Amino acid sequence: MSNATQDHRARPSASTPSAISIRDLTVAYQQKPVIWDIDLELPKGALIAVVGPNGAGKSTLLKSALELIPRTAGEVLVDGAPFRKQRHRVAYVPQRESVDWDFPVNALEVVTMGTYRRLGWFRPVTRACRERARNALAQVGLADYATRQISKLSGGQQQRVFLARALAQDADIYFMDEPFAAVDASTEQAIVELLHTLRSAGKTCLVVHHDLATVPRYFNWLVLLNMRVVKSGPMDETFTAENLRKTYGGKLSLMSDAISAFSQQAKS
């Protein structure tokens, strides 16, 4: 409980309701906890990185918050109201490997899926939906790839199609699971620009990220997770060697990543 409430008191900006409040969230598979007693208050308009070692429960945190996997305990509030009532304001970008890219759809059709929520059940896709989807595709630089079957896109382009689909939802809060995983440099740059565009539009982004070297440059709020929340707070206060050691334990290779991140941060 401690971190969240302290932040709450310390920060005047936090007097407005948090974009995302997670309270006492626990998820367990067969009595084994995957994430344990998560308490998080995440501010509106932040670019939030969720960081932790493999198996720390990062994806589980996102999926249980979105009610995709059952919670053992806990609640999730979006802008002070239960997630179920705020579904339409949240966009989810799953891991790229979670779907079958041989599925018979083209890029535009995938992006159009982002508009379905607004349509609701039964109602067929309209021309306006496709137009929104086209704009979203253009925003990620894939305007020329609309009619391409999705297996014929590169990994980075596939990731951008997923992001365009989230854009087409026109949500306020974006949950992204490893959008930077195995993408080319130009896609990485496109995603970073997109995150900044979203931030300047007042959107909140919760992003699972694996590359410690780029965490402080891309994000301004950090959640360190290893089954429990090790620390959550503004990047400059939270991204410390001690906190990272607490999160990753003695894993040397990861620590050397972190050290290079510090040196890069010092340079900039």
Q: Which residues bind another protein (CB under 8 A)?
A: 30, 63, 66-68, 87-88, 90, 92-94, 98-100, 103-106, 109-110, 113, 116-117, 119, 121-122, 124-125, 149, 151, 165, 169, 175
Closer to another protein at the Cβ: 203 or 231? 203
Residue closer to another protein, measured from CB, 10 or 99: 99
Phi, psi of 252 (to 5 degrees): -65, -45
Min. distance of Cβ 156 from another protein in angstroms?
19
Torsion of CA 200, 206, 209, 215, to 10 degrees: 40
Among candidate residues 11, 87, 86, 73, the one with its CA nearest the CA of residue 42: 11
Nearest approach in angstroms of CB 115 to another protein is: 10
Q: How many CB atoms lie within 10 A of CB 132?
A: 19
Smallest gap, in angstroms, from Cβ of residue 48 to another protein?
Answer: 18
Q: Where are the beta strands (DSSP E) in the chain?
A: 20-29, 32-42, 47-51, 73-78, 81-82, 90-93, 173-177, 204-208, 221-226, 228-234
* Closest CB to another protein among residues 97, 237: 97
Tell me if 150 sits within 8 A of 181, measured CB to CB: no
Select 3 or 106, whichever has its Cβ closest to another protein: 106
Side-chain half-sphere exposure of 154, counting CA atoms within 13 A: 9
Comparing CB distances to another protein, the nearer of 48 and 150 is: 150
Residue 52 to residue 223: CA distance in whole angstroms: 8
CB of 105 to another protein, least distance (A): 6
Q: How far is the CB of 124 from another protein (least distance, A)?
A: 7
